[in-house]
Structure 1
Amino acid sequence: MTFQQVSEPYDAYDVLVVGGSGVDTVVPVGALPLPPTDSAAVPPIREAVGHTGTGVALGCAALGLTTGFVDFIGDDHPGSLVRERMAAGGVDFRPLISPHGTRRAVNLVSPDGRRTSFHDARDPLDLRMPPEHYLPALRRARHVHVSITHFARFLYDDIEALGLPVSTDLHDWDGLTEHHREFALRSDLVFLSTSGAGERIASVMREIVHEGRAQAVIATAGAGGAYLLAADDRSPRPVPAVVPSGPVVDTHGAGDAFTCGFLYGRHLGRSLEDCARLGAVAGAHACTSAGTYTDLIGPEVLRTVPGTTPPPAAPPQSAPPQAAAPHPAAPPGAGLAGPPDDRVSPAGA
């Protein structure tokens, strides 16, 4: 890998994203699952910058949050695409060059917007980001969002030492796979999909809260809305789904958009319940555009969403913490106790 010193144009980041960049090859297919066939004609195949860290970084920047991003990419054509898209999206991207190349994925998308993604997790297990690269960015961050790329787990000690609030997205974690567990238990806000754990999702959410440091766990359920479990809740609280403003074209990136809407709400000091509502609006918006991160929701839309907590007159402007301190994230909102039934039925990915 190569390391390059760069200038520091930002005094602080509202959100610093760690890991999760890449390029998607999007293949439109007639139906999912695929029928058994040796070959099939499809509409034009598209190549676009994608992956979860990219989505969170671009989405937060589109919402007006000052956004930084540290990751590995390759010295290759996909890496150039990532650099260009980050620059165009207003993200302060600080990459290191990995000899293993830029991550890729192939996404099969059906006419009803459902998708199957094949992720190329090419990073070797011994890949590490040197502290001299990421520490300057961490010291300017107000919030850190960690993608579940393997190298990113080794930043948690420094994140905790700086007293920074941190979020992560476990995607379709089943609650069993060990790769995800450290991310789940060392983050203040934990996002995941109901599709992995199925009917066990409520138990998985409670385990994250009880065994880790999470102030809230949010499980998205596609057209079924989402579920919110705060640290003082007994059971997950349902979050109603939002009807998209247009036809559902491609659900890829909806979870990342949900995360961005939620983090935007937290930045404004909104309650957990209000943040989940903003996330649902952003996720529904993402489903109405083809491709990955091609039509990002802006703050003017989310500002019109009613909530239970009036936002401050202006976003917080406090300097980022520089030394170890108690976790500064806002406390969970009141009135979030869920129903006595602890079973949550998933309604989609």
Structure 2
Amino acid sequence: MTSQTGVTRTDTTHTGTVDVLVLGGAGVDTVVHVPELPLPYADSYMIDSGIRTRAGQTGDFVAMGLTALGLRTHHLDLLGDDPEGDLVRALHREHGIGLSALPQPAGTRRAVNLVGPDGRRLSLYDTSRSRPGDRFPEDTLRALATASRHVYVTITQPCAEALPVLAATGVPLSTDLHDWDGENPYHEPFAYAADVVFLSAAALADPERTLRRIAERGRARTVVATAGAEGAYLLADGELTRVPAETPPAPVVDSNGAGDAFAAAFLYGRLAGEPPETCARYGALAGAYACTVPASRADAMGRDRLLQAAAEPRP
């Protein structure tokens, strides 16, 4: 169904109060398993495992993770009238995720993920699938945000322009800065507007310094930097703690989506009223599970499995 604002609603089951509105980050990935990363130059490679295209980028994975944990979730983004957009719409229908899709004439976001034998990935993003004038209609954005307990904002365009409208609603915000180096100015509006900030420690020379700067300059009282097998750094109300990594329940095959799973599970704990340390353990457990899911498949840790794992003592 398409409204007068051009919003296509592919799911009408979330017309009441929503737990989390996910903004942006919808798209499609083409996954290629390669023999090693970095990939040495060669005229050609034979990919015996196949080359697969499936729906699922950062916003999709967060929305899927939240829904698997029992939270009422709605996703707002721009999608093209193209095969990639059809895959994204089908993913949301399959998992019961509410989706409001605005038309994107430039097409649905897409990327190519090269995945190494150890699960590491190299992502190639097609930046031609956006336009400088892209915007979310303020009335649509405000209506969905005020009907939500929380808004998770991806750093994809045009989410930066949506931040003032979201801030005016007073709804708590979270975001993931991904592999921010602590210097790129593009990430700063997101870092300083959110109440909860996630990022990867991969590009940070001094994670604690970056976490404290985010807290000092912005609204966040909780900042988390994930560090893969080394766990995570949690800054909550000025106190920095280290969060141990959790043992994956199966062999690690792909790290794609681990950060999104961490964020979804952390927010699940936060909305349930759990302390930051418990939220971070939820995130670590869901992130470890995500590393066992092949890149060609879209899957997320369910609530029962998460709570069962969290109840077990650490080794």
Separation in structure 1 between the aligned mates of residue 8 and residue 35 of structure 2, nearest angstrom: 48
Separation in structure 2 between the aligned mates of residue 34 and residue 210 of structure 1, nearest angstrom: 40
Q: Which amino acid aligns with 2:21?
A: L
Residue 292 of structure 1: how far off its partner (Å): 5.5
Higher strand share: 2
Residue 46 (1) aligns with residue 49 (2) = no
Residue 195 (1) aligns with residue 195 (2) = no
Deviation string 1:228-274 (CA, Å, 9 cap, x unpaired) is 012322xx311000000010011100000000110110111100010
Deviation string 1:63-97 (CA, Å, 9 cap, x unpaired) is 11000010001010000000010111111100101
Q: Secondary structure at the match of 2:38?
A: coil
Instruction: Find the counterpart in structure 2 of residue 3 from structure 1.
Output: 6
Match of 2:62 among 40, 45, 56: 56
Q: Which amino acid aligns with 1:265?
A: G
Q: Judge conservation of contact 2:34–2:114 (CA < 8 Å) in 1.
A: yes
Match of 1:154 among 157, 161, 185: 161
Q: Which amino acid aligns with 2:105?
A: P
Separation in structure 2 between the aligned mates of residue 81 and residue 256 of structure 1, nearest angstrom: 19
| Number of residues of Structure 1 aligned to a counterpart in Structure 2 | 305
Identity level (%): 46
Q: Judge conservation of contact 1:23–1:102 (CA < 8 Å) in 2.
A: yes
Residue ranges of structure 2 left out of the alignment (5+ in a row): none
Q: Secondary structure at the match of 1:157?
A: helix
Q: Which amino acid aligns with 2:30?
A: T
Deviation string 1:40-66 (CA, Å, 9 cap, x unpaired) is 111200111121101101110111100
Q: How does 1:1-349 map to 2 (within 5 A)?
A: 3-4=6-7, 9-42=14-47, 43-121=49-127, 122-197=129-204, 199-233=205-239, 236-291=240-295, 294-304=298-308, 305-306=310-311
Residue ranges of structure 1 left out of the alignment (5+ in a row): 309-349
Change (3 A) 1:2 1:162: closer
Q: Judge conservation of contact 1:71–1:95 (CA < 8 Å) in 2.
A: yes
Separation in structure 2 between the aligned mates of residue 275 and residue 292 of structure 1, nearest angstrom: 28
Instruction: Find the counterpart in structure 2 of residue 319 from structure 1.
Output: none
Q: Secondary structure at the match of 1:195?
A: coil
Residue 151 of structure 1: how far off its partner (Å): 1.1
Residue 132 of structure 1: how far off its partner (Å): 2.5
Separation in structure 2 between the aligned mates of residue 150 and residue 101 of structure 1, nearest angstrom: 13
Residue 161 of structure 1: how far off its partner (Å): 1.9
Separation in structure 1 between the aligned mates of residue 203 and residue 297 of structure 2, nearest angstrom: 23
Q: Secondary structure at the match of 2:124?
A: strand
Q: Judge conservation of contact 2:80–2:105 (CA < 8 Å) in 1.
A: yes
Q: Judge conservation of contact 2:19–2:73 (CA < 8 Å) in 1.
A: yes
Separation in structure 2 between the aligned mates of residue 307 and residue 30 of structure 1, nearest angstrom: 36
Residue 150 of structure 1: how far off its partner (Å): 2.6
Change (3 A) 1:293 1:10: farther
Q: Judge conservation of contact 1:55–1:293 (CA < 8 Å) in 2.
A: no
Q: Which amino acid aligns with 1:251?
A: S
Q: Secondary structure at the match of 2:113?
A: strand
Structure 1 ranges of 4+ moved more than 3 A: 4-9
Q: Which amino acid aligns with 1:228?
A: L
Deviation string 1:108-134 (CA, Å, 9 cap, x unpaired) is 011111111111233122211111322
Change (3 A) 1:8 1:60: closer
Q: Judge conservation of contact 1:72–1:97 (CA < 8 Å) in 2.
A: yes
Q: Judge conservation of contact 1:49–1:292 (CA < 8 Å) in 2.
A: no
Q: Which amino acid aligns with 2:126?
A: D
Separation in structure 2 between the aligned mates of residue 4 and residue 144 of structure 1, nearest angstrom: 19
**TM-score where L is the length of structure 1:** 0.84
